[in-house]
Structure 1
């Protein structure tokens, strides 16, 4: 697929993380399609921009949230206007410079192009606990820690 579209899709994901890291619920919600869906780390499901905003806003208002650090692992074009982006992400707790391996996650996004703009149709934030396989948690954590050197 066209490299410009690839860059645009990756930019949407970066904007999503930047909005989270800046505690900007409106900025996050506006990246979704009107009927977009967000499935949070705890399984919370929000459908539609306003519901996504209503879910995120109190989190940012009442909690010090950790910052995401991420690495895109795959961008797969299903068509010229539908893309699946997969990434791994870790979180830096407030006042910390180290990844908390207990909240490593897989990010999966379905991004669609509507009216010339890329928007998120689905964002799923799945815990990467690898039950019974601590070496996989450690491997992912080390991969994410390597990204901290680039910040």
Structure 2
């Protein structure tokens, strides 16, 4: 992990809050961390713009079917401009009713955070599938690393 940002703790907390809201299946809790004009690009490629639209969409998703839970590892946080940072994380998903990761559902989370009035907000969160089809050993190593996190929880 590399980190070169003076507000690392706040940005990590922002990502942790996203994961917690998702795992509690609360559209409002997930959206609370976003800027008013924030964007989310889902694992399936869907795009939603604005905190209210994100909350409404996730409320519908969480209400219509069981969703996977996330466990994530922050890989880096780095500044990309004044009051803007990018966080990269790897995350795994646990299917509903399961107790283990499904390696086919690993993802890379890219979170762009911006400071607004002294508070960090998610400007963009994108979930990209991380199948590593050409590198199964990398997928297996990530699975093991994520399982170790599950054992601690």
Corresponding position: 1:117 with 2:103: no
Q: Give the 3-state SS of the residue equivalent to 2:152 in structure 1.
A: coil
Residue 90 (structure 1) aligns with: 92
> Can you list the C-alpha shifts for 1:123-142, whole angstroms capped at 9, x where unaligned?
00000011232222212111
Structure 1 gaps, min length 5: none
Pick from 111, 117, 127 the counterpart of residue 129 of structure 2: 127
**What number of residue pairs does the alignment pair up?**
150
> Aligned equivalents of 1:45 and 1:79: distance in 2?
24
After the TM superposition, which parts of structure 1 deviate over 3 Å for at least 4 consecutive aligned residues?
none
> Aligned equivalents of 2:70 and 2:92: distance in 1?
6
Displacement of 1:2 in angstroms is 6.4
Q: Give the 3-state SS of the residue equivalent to 1:149 in structure 2.
A: helix
> Aligned equivalents of 1:32 and 1:107: distance in 2?
15
> Aligned equivalents of 2:131 and 2:5: distance in 1?
35
1:69-84 correspondence to structure 2 within 5 Å: 69-84=71-86
- TM-score, structure 2 as length reference: 0.92
> Can you list the C-alpha shifts for 1:19-58, whole angstroms capped at 9, x where unaligned?
0000110111121111100000000000111211122111
- TM-score, structure 1 as length reference: 0.94
Pick from 90, 100, 108 the counterpart of residue 110 of structure 2: 108
Which one is further off, 86-95 or 104-113?
Answer: 86-95
> Aligned equivalents of 2:102 and 2:14: distance in 1?
25
Structure 2 gaps, min length 5: none
